[in-house]
Structure 1
């Protein structure tokens, strides 16, 4: 049963977060408004395998078949024709740790308690790894994790009891993309000196082949492969790179950090040279008075490398005969502005930042199609659970799209709510909180903090008509003939905040 906002009725019973937390860690509950999908298991069947592949900071526009960015992705393009491909998938909280928590818990930020990067996602037994393990799966996780907090240092060994149900374990350490470093079962750093996607794909293939007893062959498997690129990196291979501009609009007078930026192996970067001749989006501007095109070969090249490695995983499933009975997902935690609106990286509400790839295939049960339905990060886990015939726990906030994907339901939602609070919870930077809603046509944002003044104007709210203005070049403010729509969407966001016990409007928004 849904209320007028489309929220699960149980959400209305969520207790308020302990108000002892300061406002900058109040995360917005990125409610996916999936309509009447019921939380029920699928029909009895042979349990499908699950291969969940994600990359970091891969924006939705950077896929060849989307025909937006000049990126080369033949394997993902082919996969899109074999999958249900969502063209309106969104990050619930566009920064790594918080949205990964949304993905793997199926919960809104206020319920999973990961309010910024470097917070630990606690194990309640209802996350992806734990649920598939309890349901008789061999589980594995390879690549970037970013959900264990600061104990032992920002990146460190994760003991088995904190692995959230994942049995096979190989976790990358930071963004040294050409010098991959990992922890596995032992508290001993593994230094590979390898391009991380190549090494991680090799290890994933070993898991799929069960070459060294990585899994129980008598069980179905659930494997996550989490590539760190195309996120900007550092260390070997980045010596001649530099960040384009500053992540913080209030820190423009600081020196630009050298030895950090976007990079990929040479043969992939060469595909995008000369960079200044590549076509750009219509909303690209200089970043801190600097051109952003030098970032393109590294960013697009990393995506093409990931595409090549993704193709190897798919080919192994087909060669082994597991393709038909394997659910395969490709997605990302958030996007990348890459010069759009004169900004780099993520966090803002623009389409390049919040839009992510999402393709889900299950040849035995789903027919391929392109889906324009809105979907949020927290909806992916319950969708996988239902497709696998696993009961969806009531504590999960997301909704299953299984019925929509198999044609039993025409539409699930007309609104996606999302938010931002901070990048890293305990850093010394400014609070960056906003509350927002994306409908099929509009994006409405209410924001506070000096960080956003240049975007939201004196009333600290802004609207975009994405139908008339797909590049979001023309912000709309009160008094510009859209007041009725702004009032309607502001009310929707305010109601949502009230129902989720978020004090953004009641105490802090001026």
Structure 2
């Protein structure tokens, strides 16, 4: 991407755009300078891997900086813990059944109102850079450059305002380069709003060259529930397919594949025993290997050499130790953490690079900087990887906001907030009208009062997951979470309830639904659930017209 190309896309639009929003006036009658807005979002980044949330796994100094110089939210939850639907909720400020994007097999209706469109109408320059993952082209942006589908870690392809381009290098670095270039080439007379969305640390967790093997000598602490037997919950926990023990692929996930396997070649003796059709069938036998081979072959020869050297000890160890049972699970968990966390290092570095650039050009303190993820993720808790459940590790998502003009540094909020709250918050600070059909609430009263929760704030967050049958086979369910309790109803091919006392059972191991001592709590939670379903217009949740999963080519590996 060349500077003059980006400039040609931005400046003509900026020149003809008109400001229609209501802006406060300073005493000299000049319009008050409105804040820039940057929403930083990662894919599958969980609070367990962020040091300002108390992570025992790694340090994230640049992400911590946003929290330390702004506000950290300890109870932010997504309304649907899967990538595309979560992104649609953020864009629209509405729940999945309202915005129409309930699962990843669907296509986002870009004609509907979104907060970038409303900001653009009110005079903001808008940009979408990175992982879009909504199966339709972005609308409401002066400039956009999005990854194709899930995107690739090495030499990724981008759709740049309708033109497909392949960029050399590592995806997290490239997305940041594009973000910095957009900021540098913008019309500086107008505020900007940029969605800066990373692929990382999404499966299959391929670290940057500079981070390969960086955690090889570290042993990470195991979660207490790594060997959960699921005996205290209903069939959803037992029947899901996201166990490290049984569902993590040796090649795609654990990188246990030799250079010969990844190049698609065979030794002479093996090839001599196979005809062309048999070789082709062998190549197609393992979807994980095929996907990993495609990702690996995007690397340059020099990158492959560094990669091969970094993973050779792991491959040798796996092939020689002959591990079984819990020993093998523990070994897989360590490899998983080494790759996931190494991939996250590049995110932290690049967020720091963006913050430093904003400071250098004098825009840091005039920019609302938000860091979040499309949902949380299991890092071995309950023996799992992936997300989708209403359980805490993936329903809860990180949220930190820095804006020194309005937010006191180092503050923490325990208010129950949701990803649908971001849209009205941005509109509120931009001085734009918030449409009455937006279901989220502006966080401005919390941000500007040192994290204190207003008396009329919501008492619970609502959740609804639809994508079943599909990847990882997590059953459909909906429910609510208050400060202390969580109520979940699994439905569709099941009909059972779970209730957790989060104060006594933070790991969600003891389902107390139906127990006499929780009768009053159960009644109150059920009543509140019905009230929230009415509020969010999800009054017949088990009868939604949900499209069944129809499969894909395997490349997404959700």
Q: In which range does the TM-score fall when normalised by the shorter chain?
A: 0.7 to 0.9
* Corresponding position of 1:418: 463
What does residue 202 of structure 1 align with? Answer: 177
State the 1:486 CA deviation.
Answer: 1.7
Q: Is the 8 A contact 1:269 1:300 kept in 2?
A: no
Give a deviation string over 1:270-307, Cα, whole Å, max 9, x none. Answer: 332245x2113222236336443321111111111100
Structure 1 residues 463-478: aligned runs within 5 Å? 463-478=499-514
Q: Is the 8 A contact 2:48 2:57 kept in 1?
A: no
Partner residue in 2 for 1:169: 144
- Residue 488 (structure 2) aligns with: 445
Larger Rg: 2
**Partner SS, residue 371 of structure 2:** strand
Paired residue secondary structure (1:344):
coil
Contact 2:413 2:453 in 1 (8 A): no
CA shift, 1:429, in A, is 8.4
The one-character-per-residue Cα deviations of 1:453-476 (angstroms, maximum 9, x if unpaired) are 7xxxxx711111111122223222
Q: Distance in 2 between matches of 1:281 and 1:82?
A: 30
**Partners of 1:41 and 1:387 within 8 A in 2:** no
Q: What is the Cα deviation at residue 419 of structure 1?
A: 1.3
**What is residue 388 of structure 2 aligned with on the other side?**
347
**How far off is 1:120 after superposition?**
2.6
Question: Is the aligned partner of 1:230 residue 2:201?
Answer: yes
Aligned length: 414
Return the offset for 1:497: 3.0
1:485 aligns to what? Answer: 521
Report the alpha carbon displacement of residue 128 of structure 1 after superposing the two structures with TM.
2.1
Aligned residues of 2:406 and 2:447 also touching (Cα < 8 A): no
Q: Evaluate the alpha carbon distance shift between residue 501 and residue 376 of structure 1 in structure 2; reply closer, same or farther with a 3 A threshold.
A: closer
After TM superposition, the score normalised by the length of structure 2 is: 0.70
**Secondary structure of 1:194 counterpart:** coil
Q: CA deviation at 1:181?
A: 1.1
- What corresponds to 2:346 in structure 1? 305
2: CA distance between counterparts of 1:181 and 1:380? Answer: 29
* CA offset digits 1:60-112 (Å, max 9, x no partner): 22101212341221111122111111011111110001110000111111211
Task: Identify the residue that residue 478 of structure 2 maps to in structure 1.
Answer: 435
Gaps of 5+ in 2: 1-20, 26-31, 228-243, 247-324, 546-558
CA positional deviation for 1:216 = 2.0
Out of 351, 376, 393, the position equivalent to 2:435 is 393
TM-score, normalised with respect to structure 1: 0.76
CA contact (8 A) 2:388 2:474 kept: no
Return 383-392 or 135-144, whichever deviates more. Answer: 383-392
Instruction: State how far apart, in whole Å, the 2-side matches of 1:42 and 1:91 are.
Output: 31
Shift of 1:372: 1.2
How far residue 41 of structure 1 moved from its aligned partner, in angstroms, is: 7.3
Contact preservation (8 Å) 1:444, 1:462? yes
Q: Where does residue 207 of structure 2 map in the other structure?
A: 264
More helix by share: 2
Relative to structure 1, the CA distance from residue 346 to residue 42 in structure 2 (aligned partners, 3 Å threshold; closer, same or farther) is farther
Secondary structure (helix, strand or coil) at the match of 1:385 reads helix
1:504 to 541, 546, 550: 541
Are the counterparts in 2 of residues 97 and 118 from structure 1 also a CA contact under 8 Å? no
1:137 to 114, 124, 127: 124
Deviations 1:222-253 (A, max 9, x none): 11110011010xxxxxxxxxxxxxxxxxxxxx
| Shift in Å, 1:370 | 1.0
| Counterpart Cα distance in 1 of 2:103 and 2:82 | 8
What's the Cα RMSD here?
2.4
Structure 1, gaps ≥5 residues long: 1-39, 150-157, 233-260, 454-458
1:24-423 equivalences under 5 Å are 43-44=24-25, 45-124=32-111, 126-149=113-136, 158=137, 163-173=138-148, 174-187=150-163, 189-210=164-185, 215-232=186-203, 261-274=204-217, 277-285=219-227, 287-288=245-246, 290-291=329-330, 292-368=333-409, 369-407=411-449, 410-411=453-454, 412-422=457-467
Tell me how far 1:312 sits from its aligned partner. 0.6
